[in-house]
Amino acid sequence: MRALVLNACVALVVILYGSVARATTVDFTILDSATKVAGGSFSFATGLTGVLSYSNLSAFSVQILGGPTYDLTFAETAPNYQYFAYNTSTNVFVPTNIGGSEYEVLGALNLSNLTGFIVSSGSPEQLATYYTGCQDCSVFSGYTTINYNVITTPVTTTPLPAAFPLFGAGLGLIGLLVGRRQRNIAGARANVSGAA
């Protein structure tokens, strides 16, 4: 009996574990020489391959030191400029040439209210940020690199719809087993009392 209950519990654990999505998180730092000028992170579903864009991300943020933080909602809806490319095979950002020597690494820009950010790997390398009402309030030139590391973290999500019937069946099985055991115990006690 205990073995059946144990097996049912193991089955439930497997079902619940299968409903937990896994995400890969990449933290990055932008340096001006050796000084950090911005940092952020982005996440995407583990197992996703190829070159990712903003639309493939489940989360994104970049925080300009001494300035604003921009998130995925801003980046995806920035009307004037959006660029993000990250190669999951080589784990590197993929710059694109948008004009001459300007190679953009990532960016999102809304010119109507002058907000956003652009990270360039061209010549000179720079991080240009746009605050409300102020264009190029902070331009850091000569950053050495964008440092980043990849971290895989489990991200709990709502169980998949297909898991609900299995989950219910598992609970029902446990209920039946526990009920049968209690009836057997009660019957045994009644027999002992009757024999006495």
Per-residue pLDDT reduced to its tens digit, 151-195: 776 665 555 455 555 555 555 555 655 566 666 555 555 555 555
List, in sequence order, the alpha helices (H) in the chain.
Answer: 2-18, 72-77, 163-195
107 vs 19, which has greater pLDDT? Answer: 107
110 vs 2, which has greater pLDDT? Answer: 110
At residue 10, the pLDDT reads 47
With bands split at pLDDT 50, 70 and 90, how would you rate the model's confidence at 62?
very high
- Whether the CB-CB separation of 116 and 110 falls below 8 Å is answered with yes
- Mean pLDDT across the stretch 10-27? 65
At residue 146, the pLDDT reads 74
Q: 81: which DSSP letter?
A: E
At residue 13, the pLDDT reads 45
Distance between CA atoms of 85 and 122, rounded to whole angstroms?
A: 16
0.95 surpassed by pTM = no
191 vs 29, which has greater pLDDT? Answer: 29
Q: Please work out, in degrees rounded to the nearest 5, the angle formed at the alpha carbon of residue 24 by the alpha carbons of 102 and 14.
A: 160
At residue 87, the pLDDT reads 93
At residue 5, the pLDDT reads 47
With bands split at pLDDT 50, 70 and 90, how would you rate the model's confidence at 119?
confident
40 vs 104, which has greater pLDDT? Answer: 40
Residue 143 burial (10 A CB sphere; 0-12, 13-18, 19+) = buried
Task: Tokens for 40, please give them.
Answer: 């952020």
Mean pLDDT across the chain, nearest whole number?
73
At residue 164, the pLDDT reads 55
pLDDT at 44 over 60: yes
- Whether the CB-CB separation of 40 and 63 falls below 8 Å is answered with yes
64 vs 166, which has greater pLDDT? Answer: 64
Residue 88 main-chain phi, psi, to 5 deg = -70, -20
